[in-house]
Chains A and B, each alone.
Chain A
Amino acid sequence: MLFGPFSFQISVMLRSELILRLSEERPEIRPREVERIVDVILDEISAALEAGDRVELRGFGAFSVRQREARTGRNPRTGESVPVEKKYVPFFKAGKELRARLNNGEDPEDR
Chain B
Amino acid sequence: MLNHKLGAAGVTEKTITRADIVDALVQEVGLTRQDSSDYLERVLEMVCEELVSDNSVKLARFGNFVVRRKNARVGRNPKTGKEAPITARRVVTFKPSPLMRRRVESALASKE
Contacts and interface: CB of A to CB of B under 8 A. Distances in A.
B87 A111 contact: yes
Nearest to A22: B42
Nearest to A87: B105
Contact of A101 (B17, B42, B52, B58): B52
B15 interface: yes
Given A13-B55, A52-B10, A46 B91 contact: no
A54 B14 contact: yes
Contacts of B59: 14-15, 18, 42
Interface residues of B, number: 60
A43 B11 CA distance: 19
A45 B104 CA distance: 11
Contact of A13 (B11, B58, B108): B58
A92 B57 contact: no
Contacts of B7: 66-67
Contacts, number: 181
Contacts of B87: 108, 111
Q: Interface on chain A toward B: helix, strand, loop, or mixed SS? A: mixed
Interface of B: 3, 7-12, 14-18, 20-21, 24-25, 28-29, 31, 39-40, 42-44, 46-48, 50-52, 54-63, 65, 67, 86-87, 89-94, 96, 100-101, 103-105, 107-109, 111
12 contacts: A13-B50, A13-B58, A37-B43, A40-B28, A50-B108, A52-B108, A53-B10, A53-B12, A54-B10, A54-B14, A60-B44, A88-B11
Given A22-B42, A66-B7, A90-B96, 4 more contacts: A87-B109, A88-B105, A90-B94, A92-B93
